[in-house]
Structure 1
Amino acid sequence: MSDAAWTAVDDYIVDHLIGADAALDAALIANEAGGLPAIDVSAAQGKMLHLLARMAGARHILEVGTLGGYSTIWLARALPEDGRLVTLELESHHADVARGNIAVAGFAGKVDIRVGPAIGSLDAMIAAGEGPFDFIFIDADKPSNVAYLRAALALGRTGTTIVVDNVIREGGVLDATSDDDRIRGTRALFEAVAAEPRLSATAVQTVGAKKWDGFLLAVVNGPV
């Protein structure tokens, strides 16, 4: 099947199961106007993250990689009234756009955007004893995936759900000789998860508007 067919199926899913969404549509428009790269999760993937967070009963969510806040809004919608979400973004301009989008969606009071290198932010959170987080979504620079995984374990608890995006890379994950740092970082992630007895994990391939990629899904068995 062609990429066009994959996108058509995504459109069918959205039409039947998700529908129009003014706040999310406005976020994508603002992202484009702000010059942000069009690398957000798709609507179907965003709804999947929302449902996974609800299934996990998440009250405290951590997101590594905010971009313009599209996935952040999906995750914030899964929170109960007293829930909160911390999201980490390297670029101050991206964070500014995200703040506007999150405010328009009505979640300014629940979402804490922290700007700077995510490793530094995560180290500070660990040192401060923040957490535990119930649900952690990792969608940032791929060479740092293993470091983000280790931080997720430090900030999680038994039962924490961890989701990592972009782990198939159109099959590039199979290339052991790749000099692409994103592929090397993704392969290192698989190796780290496979060697980690505290995690029960799988990965799923996806096709659609975002072409051929996938998610790694893990639950912390504990103890952390």
Structure 2
Amino acid sequence: MSAPDRIVVRLAAPALFVGASADGTGADTDIVTDAHGLPYLPRHRLAARLSEGAGRALTVAADLAGPAGQVFGRSRSHGSGRLLRLGHAVLDDDVRAAVARALAGRAEPERSTLRRAVTDAFTALESGTAVGPDGAPVPGGLRTHRILLPGPVLTAALTWSVPPGPEHWRILARACLATTQIGLKATRGRGRVDVRLAGPDGADPHAETLRLAAPPGPVASDEREEARA
């Protein structure tokens, strides 16, 4: 069975992936997009959420603390000390290729207009007003947020700096299962996600993640004797 080579993020609720869009959308809080106007989840944010998920998983699997530090780095490190290597979580190749072809050779301002339309197709604007202690709206507190609509599936390439062991896969799979929200304002129901591991063999990502997350099975007596020899 082939090892997973990517992480799949399925968005189940609107999410705020705050950042700068290609052309700016006029919202108080914009959404991060690539040069073609397509939303994506930056690799460092995905890694941070997975690291938090690993922390939650350790509450019931303290024996994986060592592998977790190796996989995600210690003290939220994003440097070379981590075994895990992630790409940005992006839309599928067919979508990105189609948008790239549509933009190819376009001159301004047509190119910017089309690119903005691409962003609009995946996002929406939400407005809200800050509320004071008395429950009344705060004057001047109206804000507009650009959100990513639910439905898209984002995929991040997955590699390792050195070959991982079963315990590294185990903590990564458990971190994926424990990561259920991504983005800002999660307490308001935003950014609900399913995060799973997927491989090139087409196996079901949910089943594959559960398989890798499972604790090791009991070792047969003959295998223990062989290990001692």
TM-score by length of 1: 0.26
More helix by share: 1
Q: Which has the larger radius of gyration?
A: 2
TM-score by length of 2: 0.25
By relative contact order (CA 8 Å, sep 6+), the higher-ranking structure is 2
